[in-house]
Amino acid sequence: MKKLILIFMFFSVVCSAQQDAQFTQYMYNTISVNPAYAGSRGVLNVFGLYRTQWIGLDGAPETSTFSLNTPLSNNSKLGLGVSLVNDKIGPTVENTLSADLSYSIPTSESFKLSFGIKATANMFNLDVSKLSFENQGDEQFQDLDNKFSPNIGAGVYWHSDRAYLGFSVPNFIETNRYDDNNTAIFKEKINYYFIAGYVFNLDKLEYIRFKPALLTKMVQGAPLQVDVSGNFMFYDKFVVGLAYRWSASVSAMAGFQVSKGMYVGYGYDHETTNLRRYNSGSHEIFLRFEFFNSYKKMISPRFF
């Protein structure tokens, strides 16, 4: 029964619009959606995340991502990033390799405006043996092995140590992953992202900080996705927070600054749609490593 539900859900999604992989802790993984983020932290940043969605549902999405980004030199206006995303759902597997380049200009003593471009190579696989058809000989559905498609994207990111605003389009090219007789069965649509966040000090000694954040994703043929979150940081070490994905899920998040350069985070999503009857939620865990040069001094850990 669960497998039938997933297959129905899979075709309901891909026949209308394919969206990018989603992350609850998007504020730590901004490079995946906005190339202008590359190098914005001023240090070499290495990030790895694993997300398993809808536990207990056969063929449910699993996403792994790895990225690194860095300024090209001390006080450089240029930033460079590389990321790899492996996304599995039902009978499909996608591997996406991206390279990001950013250029930043100061707009005030505190803020910089960064412009970024993204180049992407995507490899798409479809294993139709994992699906059941009324007509097993239907030539419309055939295996796809490593179907290659390139793409380009761009973004802007206005930021300081306490605040940020960003807008991006990671992929400008709409790609028909699978089509027959000029009818797209699996089509990747253009995704539009808007992100924002601000860090408030709740005490004079800055032992307690609060950061509300927003991510909005728009794509033709799919519902508007709005993620709202609020995180508290205590003594530059512990982070706890809650998030809400509009008409989809509620989430709890926690993190710990293990050392100057290492941060670990965890998130749990509880589905609010009818799918909650068939799964026990989604889990997300990530590790972030940062490498500081001898001249680089971290005053306090950042939320983003």
CA distances from 237 to 178, 231, 256, 274 (A): 47, 13, 6, 37
Higher pLDDT, 36 or 190: 36
Name the amino acid, one letter, at 287: L
- pLDDT score, position 223: 84
List, in order, residues 6 or more apart from 53 with CB less than 8 Å away.
Answer: 60, 61, 62, 63, 269, 282
Q: Is the pLDDT of residue 278 over 50?
A: yes
Name the amino acid, one letter, at 46: V
In a domain, 19, yes or no: no
Report residue 86 as tokens. 């492996």
Q: Is the pLDDT of residue 291 over 80?
A: yes
Name the amino acid, one letter, at 210: F
Compute the distance between CA of residue 146 and CA of residue 143 in angstroms, rounded to an integer.
10
124-141: pLDDT as tens digits: 888 877 666 555 555 555
128-162 core/surface letters (b: 16 or more CB in 10 A; e: else): beeeeeeeeeeeebeebeebebebebbbbbbbeeb
* C-beta of residue 194 within 8 angstroms of C-beta of residue 30: no
Task: Tell me the average pLDDT of the chain.
Answer: 86
In which band, very low, low, confident or very high, does the pLDDT at 13 lie, cut at 50, 70 and 90? very low
- pLDDT score, position 20: 78
- pLDDT score, position 21: 81
In a domain, 8, yes or no: no
List, in order, residues 6 or more apart from 238 with CB less than 8 Å away.
Answer: 254, 255, 256, 257
- pLDDT score, position 14: 45
Q: Is the pLDDT of residue 287 over 90?
A: yes
How many structural domains is the chain composed of?
1
Compute the distance between CA of residue 78 and CA of residue 117 in angstroms, rounded to an integer.
12
Q: Which residue matches tokens 């649509």? A: 189
**Residue 237 belongs to domain spanning:** 26-291
In a domain, 264, yes or no: yes
In a domain, 125, yes or no: yes
213-260: pLDDT as tens digits: 999 999 987 888 999 999 999 999 999 999 999 989 999 999 999 998
In a domain, 154, yes or no: yes
Residue 248 gets the label, from left (phi > 0), alpha (psi -120 to 50) or beta, of alpha
In a domain, 2, yes or no: no
In which band, very low, low, confident or very high, does the pLDDT at 300 lie, cut at 50, 70 and 90? low
Distance of CA 5 to the CA centre of its chain: 25
Higher pLDDT, 157 or 14: 157
2-12: pLDDT as tens digits: 444 444 444 44
- pLDDT score, position 169: 97
Query: Which CATH number do you get for residue 184?
Result: 2.40.160.40
High-pLDDT (> 90) share of the chain, %: 63
- pLDDT score, position 2: 45
The 3-state secondary structure of 186-245, one letter per residue: EEECCEEEEEEEECEECCCCCCEEEEEEEEEEEECCCCCEEEEEEEEEECCCEEEEEEEE
- pLDDT score, position 19: 65
In a domain, 9, yes or no: no
High-pLDDT (> 70) share of the chain, %: 82
* C-beta of residue 200 within 8 angstroms of C-beta of residue 210: yes
- pLDDT score, position 174: 85
93-131: pLDDT as tens digits: 999 999 999 999 999 999 999 999 999 999 988 887 766
53-95: pLDDT as tens digits: 999 988 899 999 999 999 998 777 999 999 999 999 888 899 9
46-55: pLDDT as tens digits: 999 999 999 9
In a domain, 114, yes or no: yes
Q: Which of 122-126, 172-176, 284-288 has the highest mean pLDDT?
A: 284-288
* C-beta of residue 57 within 8 angstroms of C-beta of residue 279: yes
